[in-house]
């Protein structure tokens, strides 16, 4: 068997098989011939000339993401770390520029993100950084698009995914937030307490008003009952003084009965002896008699005043002129 022939066949088969290669989906291969750009091959089975053409590199056409962490200072001198996520890709039409014009795309994108963020964040206070993070992301995207389009890259989106201030600043912010919430709670509790006090005062005022009205109605009914009782006793020949005394004595004994019926009562009624009723009756009769005598005397001693028929007012008494003897008159100085 001819060994050189076998070696030649094997070598020819190897060269033939190396002429074929495959390109994966969403990828592009750069083919160079003798070190010079020759063509761009897309996905599928491809053919190249062995020993003459070579695969110079591969370009990924998928959307890629680069996370950049930047530490910078805000307008109110607070150091903060921002995490910016940049989503970018290479389109088929710009594969040549992406491969040959830019050596390290990730480093280039990172530099632009640092430049934009450190130019925008120092213009804002810390609270504004949290509120306007979308504005920062838009500024980064705008700057990157202008710069990276030249190199064949398209910026899909930029996101500020994290804002991390210094730990002492975060603790201070948490304390401020907690104090503000405690202040709000105290205000609501004070308002609720005020409402309860006002409602209680209104209820007490309404209760006292109704209680006073009830007492007034009770006394009015008692007085009306006493008048009716006196009228009934007068009809059977008992005069007003005796009737009043009888009613008082009856109420006295009714009160004693009510006190005795309550086992837990600690009220002491003075006097409470058996002859207290008769003593009270005699005292009342004597008081009524004395008051009647005083009234009769006042009627007899009251002067009678005649009124003129043309008006309803009493005639004023005539004025008297005081005359002094000549000896008591003051002498005028000469």
> pLDDT tens for residues 41-94?
988 888 888 888 888 889 999 999 999 999 988 888 888 899 999 999 998 888
Phi (first) and psi of residue 272, to 5 degrees: -130, 20
Question: What mean pLDDT comes out for the span 112-126?
Answer: 90
Determine if the pTM surpasses 0.75: no
What is the rounded distance in angstroms from the CA atom of residue 152 to the CA atom of residue 132? 30
Question: What mean pLDDT comes out for the span 277-290?
Answer: 69
Q: pLDDT band at 275, cuts 50/70/90? A: low
> Using CA of residue 282, residue 285, residue 289, residue 292, what is the dihedral sign?
positive
pLDDT at 210 over 90: no
- End-to-end, the C-alpha distance of the chain in Å comes to 191
With CA atoms as reference, report the closest residue to 24 among 51, 65, 55.
55
- 12-to-6, 7, 20, 213 alpha-carbon distances in Å: 10, 8, 14, 125
SS3 38: strand
pLDDT at 7: 80
141, 112 contact by CB (below 8 A): no
Can you state the percent helix, strand and coil of the chain, rounding each to 5? 55, 20, 25
Instruction: Say if residue 118 is preceded by a cis peptide, omega within 30 of 0.
Output: no
pLDDT at 177: 80
Question: What mean pLDDT comes out for the span 125-136?
Answer: 88
SS3 268: coil
pLDDT at 32 over 50: yes
pLDDT in tens, 300-334: 776 655 554 444 444 444 444 434 444 444 444 43
């Amino acid at each position: 068997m001819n060994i050189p022939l076998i070696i030649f066949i094997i070598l020819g088969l190897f060269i033939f098989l190396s002429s074929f290669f495959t390109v994966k989906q969403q990828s592009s291969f750069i083919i160079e011939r003798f070190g010079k750009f020759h063509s761009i091959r897309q996905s599928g089975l491809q053919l190249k000339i062995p020993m003459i053409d070579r695969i110079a590199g591969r370009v990924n056409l998928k959307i890629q993401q680069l996370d950049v962490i930047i530490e910078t200072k805000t307008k109110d001198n607070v150091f903060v770390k921002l995490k910016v996520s940049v989503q970018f890709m290479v389109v088929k039409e710009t594969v040549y520029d992406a491969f040959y014009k830019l050596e390290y795309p990730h480093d280039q994108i990172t530099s632009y993100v640092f430049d934009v963020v450190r130019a925008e964040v120092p213009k804002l206070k810390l609270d504004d950084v949290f509120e306007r993070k979308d504005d920062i992301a838009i500024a980064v995207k705008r700057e990157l698009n202008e710069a990276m389009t030249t190199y064949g890259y398209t910026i899909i989106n930029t996101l500020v995914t994290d804002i991390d201030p210094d730990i002492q600043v975060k603790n201070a912010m948490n304390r401020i937030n907690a104090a503000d919430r405690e202040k709000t709670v105290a205000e609501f509790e004070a308002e609720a307490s005020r409402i309860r006090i006002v409602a209680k005062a209104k209820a007490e005022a309404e209760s006292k008003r109704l209680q006073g009205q009830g007492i007034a109605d009770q006394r009015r009914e008692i007085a009306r009952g006493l008048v009716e009782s006196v009228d009934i006793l007068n009809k059977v020949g008992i005069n007003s003084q005796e009737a009043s005394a009888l009613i008082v004595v009856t109420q006295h004994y009714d009160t004693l009965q009510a006190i005795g019926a309550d086992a837990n009562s600690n009220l002491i009624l003075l006097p409470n002896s058996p002859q207290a009723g008769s003593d009270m009756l005699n005292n009342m009769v004597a008081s009524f008699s004395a008051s009647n005598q005083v009234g009769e005397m006042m009627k007899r001693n009251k002067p009678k005043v005649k009124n003129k028929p043309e008006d309803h007012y009493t005639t004023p008494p005539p004025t008297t002129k005081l005359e002094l003897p000549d000896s008591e008159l003051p002498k005028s100085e000469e």
